[in-house]
Every structure is written in structure tokens, then in C-alpha cells.
Amino acid sequence: MTKGQAANRAACPYCLPLPLAAGYPMAQTYEFYSERADEAAALAAAATLDNVRERELRSEKTWRGLAEQARKTIEEREKADRLRAEKRAAESGV
């Protein structure tokens, strides 16, 4: 990595430190994605350049989409767990 790349990575609010990016799992939760969306919205509101504001608004939209997808995944997982539990209860005669 060059000095310029390292400086860009350090300035990027979304970039993970290299050890995390290399092999540690990232939390993929609704809360995580929502926080990133809120940060992008704040950066967009504070931006003085149009291209920066547009980039942050696109970023916010993406993070909100990921948050919604994570929320739906949680709901589907809970529904599937509930159905499996009901099926096991019915099969065991309880």
C-alpha cells in the first residue's frame, strides 16, 4: 500500500482497519447498517461540494437498503425458528 492509499484509507469513515478487513467478521446487523446510514446522512448534510453530498446520499441509500435487508432476514429467521418449534411440538405430541 502506498502512502497515498494509506492516507485515503485513514480519511475514509467507512474503511475498516486492515486487521479487521483481513480476517475478522464484520457485524451485519440492522443497527450497524442504520448507524452507517445515519453517518452518511450527516456527512451529506455537512458537505459543501455537490459531488460529495451526492456520494454520501448514495451511500446513505445503500446503507438503508442493507439495514432493511438485515431486518427482513431477522424476521424470516425468527419465523422459520417458530415454525420449526411448532412442528417439533406437534410431532412429539406435546
- pTM reported for the whole predicted model: 0.64
Q: Is residue 63 part of a domain?
A: yes
18 domain-assigned: no
Provide the grid cell at 1: 500500500
- The span from the first CA to the last CA of the chain, in angstroms, equals 61
Distance CA 72, CA 43 (A): 27
Q: How many domains does the chain have?
A: 1
> Is residue 3 assigned to a domain?
no
- Domain residues for the domain of 85 are 25-92
- CA–CA separation, 94 vs 47, rounded Å? 61
Residue 66 lies inside a defined structural domain of this protein: yes
User: Digits of tens for pLDDT over the chain (94 positions)?
Assistant: 555 555 555 566 666 554 444 444 556 899 999 999 999 999 999 999 999 999 999 999 999 999 999 999 999 999 999 999 999 999 887 5
Q: Does 10 reside within a domain?
A: no
